[in-house]
Amino acid sequence: MTAVVKKTLAVLGLGAALAVPAVQAGGSLDLSLSNDDFRFAWDATQANSGMHVNLAWLHNEDDGDMLEAGLHVVDVRPGKRNLYIGIGAKLHAVDTDWFDAGGVGVGGFFRYAFPANRDVSLAGYGYYAPSVLSFLDADNIINADLRLQYSMIPTARLFVGYRYVGIRLDGGGSRYELGDGLHAGLSIDF
């Protein structure tokens, strides 16, 4: 692990330590798996404020690791709504055997519960870090996920989905893909 990645990890850890006391509402833990990778994420929203924080780690046994730290605003209007959305930014730090990359992706996430059966929902996220917001060896980064979920109980959802993480390196060439493909997992609210 390079010195730049270690510094990025330290900054992400400090950010998480500072964000945890600010978040005074529930959150969720998310674990997704495939044959070659897993992703673990923690999300939380501050009560009545609309501030949402996110930390995640994606590991692929062949391609490397990516850490994410996000800050969003979410829709906090009262009532049972079918659509939950958040808009904001995510810091990405990528560590592989071949290169180190980083970027600040802008985008958001959503969850839509189908009115006919609110236990079934479609969820996803998408972030793009253009060249001006990418650093180290990255020219740009795309990070996206789309999943179909089923609520087993009100606080736990099983899902299947497709993830795409693409990093275009400085100097052009093809896009390096990290942990992309089909996955399944579990999301638990607390």
pLDDT tens for each residue of 130-181: 999 999 999 999 999 999 999 999 999 999 999 999 999 998 777 899 988 9
Query: What DSSP designation does 171 have?
Result: T
- Report yes or no on whether pTM surpasses 0.75: yes
The residues near 169 (Cβ < 8 Å, ≥ 6 apart) are 99, 101, 137, 138, 139, 176
Which H or E element spans position 79? none
Question: How many residues in the chain?
Answer: 190
pLDDT tens for each residue of 104-130: 999 999 999 999 999 999 999 999 999
Q: What CATH number is given to the structural domain containing 61? A: 2.40.128.90
Domain that holds residue 123: 3-189
Number of domains composing the chain? 1
Residue found under tokens 């087993």: 152
Q: How many CA atoms lie within 13 A of 139 on its CB side?
A: 9
